[in-house]
Amino acid sequence: MKTVQNRAAQGDVFFRKVKTIPDGFAKQKRRGPIVVAHSETGHNHEIEALGCFHFTKPTEAMVSYLQLADGCGGGIDVVHKRTFDTHETLRLLGKPGDVFEVRRQREWTPEGWRRVED
């Protein structure tokens, strides 16, 4: 497991600690694990622990935010749900109230920008 204090990538997903959640992002109702990034092949990047909130905005498909909550135990784990060729689990370290931006990475192709697929 890799511990993260400020920024790190897990495959096609980049996490970085920021000061606040921008206006317009809404806290999502929790129904099971938080899926911070859906994968084209079903190997999602997920948070199972209850110690955080997920904020999204309909017009921002490539960016969301995680806010650590009471019960985070000093960090939350982001797990890559694939049985083979998996990315190492990331533990996002922080205290309640800390915020991490979650950004899907992009790449340039001759056809233009596209979301990175791993």
- pTM summary value: 0.84
In this structure, are residues 102 and 46 in contact, taking their beta carbons and an 8 Å threshold? no
Mean pLDDT score of the chain: 84
Task: Please choose, from the candidates 111, 115, 78, the residue with its C-alpha nearest in 3D space to the C-alpha of residue 93.
Answer: 78
Q: What is the extent of the structural domain holding 25?
A: 2-115
Q: What is the pLDDT of residue 86?
A: 65
Assign 38 a pLDDT band (cuts: 50, 70, 90). Answer: confident
Please give the single-letter amino acid code of residue 19.
K
- Tokens representing 81 are 């749900």
- pLDDT digits 0-9 by tens, 51-109: 899 999 998 888 999 999 988 888 999 988 766 666 788 999 999 999 999 998 655 45
Q: How many domains does the chain have?
A: 1
Q: What is the pLDDT of residue 113?
A: 47
Percent of the chain with pLDDT over 90: 42
